[in-house]
Structure 1
Amino acid sequence: MTNKPEKTLVLVNLGGPRTPAEIEVFLKDLFSDPFVFDLPLPEFLRIRLARFIAKKRAPKVQTAYASMGFGGGSPLVEETEKQALALEKILNNDSRVQWKVLVAMACAYPNIRDPKFTKPGPDTIYLPLYPQFSRSTVLSTLSILESKFSECPVGSGGYVPHFGLEPKFHQISAQFISDFFTNQLFPEQYLHYPDDKPNCDWKDIDLVFSAHGIPMRLVKKGDRYMEEVELSVKGITDELRKYGYRGNIHISYQSKVGPAKWTEPSTIQKITELAIQGKHIAVYPISFVSDHLETLEEIGEQFKELTWEKGGKSFVRIPTLSVYPEFIQFLADKVKQTDSGIKHCVCKEKGGESLRHCRFKD
Structure 2
Amino acid sequence: MNHKQKKTLILVNLGGPRTKDEIEVFLTDLFTDPFVFDLPLPEFLRLPLARFIAKKRTPKVTKIYESMGFGGGSPLVAETEKQAKSLEKLLNTKSSIQWTVKVAMTCGFPHISNPEFEKPGSDTIYLPLYPQYSRSTVLSTLNHLEKKFKECPVGSGGFIPSFASDLEFHQITARFIAEFFTGLLRKEDFLHFPKEKPTTSWKESDLVFSAHGIPMRLIRKGDRYMQEIESSVEGITNELRKLGFQGNTHISYQSKVGPAKWTEPSSLSMIESLSKEGKSILVYPISFVSDHLETLEEIGEQFKTLALESGAKSFTRIPAFGIYPPFIEFLAKKVIQGDTLIRHCQCKEMGGESLPTCRFK
Q: Which residue identity does 2:140 align to in structure 1?
A: S
* SS of corresponding position for 2:265: coil
1:197-227 CA distances to partner (integer Å, 9 max, x unpaired)? 1111110010000000000000000000000
> 1:108 and 1:2 mapped to 2: Cα distance?
40
1:332–1:74 Cα change, 3 Å: same
> 1:350 and 1:200 mapped to 2: Cα distance?
40
Query: Shift of residue 2 of structure 1?
Result: 7.1
Structure-2 residue corresponding to 1:173:
173
> 1:336 and 1:114 mapped to 2: Cα distance?
25
Structure-2 residue corresponding to 1:354:
354
1:2–1:31 Cα change, 3 Å: farther
Structure-2 residue corresponding to 1:246:
246
Number of equivalences: 361
Q: Which residue identity does 2:11 align to in structure 1?
A: L
Query: Shift of residue 340 of structure 1?
Result: 1.2
Structure 2 unmatched runs, 5+: none
Structure 1 unmatched runs, 5+: none
Q: Which residue identity does 2:316 align to in structure 1?
A: V
Q: Equivalences for 1:13-52 in 2 at 5 Å?
A: 13-52=13-52
* SS of corresponding position for 1:47: helix
* SS of corresponding position for 1:251: strand
Structure-1 residue corresponding to 2:316:
316
Query: Shift of residue 341 of structure 1?
Result: 1.1
Q: Which residue identity does 2:188 align to in structure 1?
A: E
Structure-2 residue corresponding to 1:8:
8
Q: Equivalences for 1:92-171 in 2 at 5 Å?
A: 92-171=92-171
* SS of corresponding position for 1:127: strand
Query: Shift of residue 152 of structure 1?
Result: 0.5
* SS of corresponding position for 2:10: strand
Structure-2 residue corresponding to 1:91:
91
> 1:199 and 1:271 mapped to 2: Cα distance?
17
* SS of corresponding position for 1:137: helix
> 1:183 and 1:200 mapped to 2: Cα distance?
16
Q: Equivalences for 1:50-61 in 2 at 5 Å?
A: 50-61=50-61
Structure-1 residue corresponding to 2:198:
198
1:312-333 CA distances to partner (integer Å, 9 max, x unpaired)? 0100100001100000000000
Query: Shift of residue 11 of structure 1?
Result: 0.2
> 1:152 and 1:119 mapped to 2: Cα distance?
10
> 1:84 and 1:164 mapped to 2: Cα distance?
20
1:176–1:41 Cα change, 3 Å: same
Q: Which residue identity does 2:218 align to in structure 1?
A: L
Structure-2 residue corresponding to 1:268:
268
Q: Which residue identity does 2:4 align to in structure 1?
A: K
* SS of corresponding position for 1:67: helix
> 1:360 and 1:192 mapped to 2: Cα distance?
45
Give the alignment's TM-score, normalised by structure 2.
0.99
Structure-2 residue corresponding to 1:302:
302
1:298-356 CA distances to partner (integer Å, 9 max, x unpaired)? 00000000011100010010000110000000000000011011010000000000001
Query: Shift of residue 179 of structure 1?
Result: 0.2
* SS of corresponding position for 2:297: helix
> 1:192 and 1:152 mapped to 2: Cα distance?
39
1:63–1:2 Cα change, 3 Å: farther
Give the alignment's TM-score, normalised by structure 1.
0.99
> 1:347 and 1:183 mapped to 2: Cα distance?
40
Query: Shift of residue 44 of structure 1?
Result: 1.1
1:49–1:5 Cα change, 3 Å: same
> 2:301 and 2:37 mapped to 1: Cα distance?
27
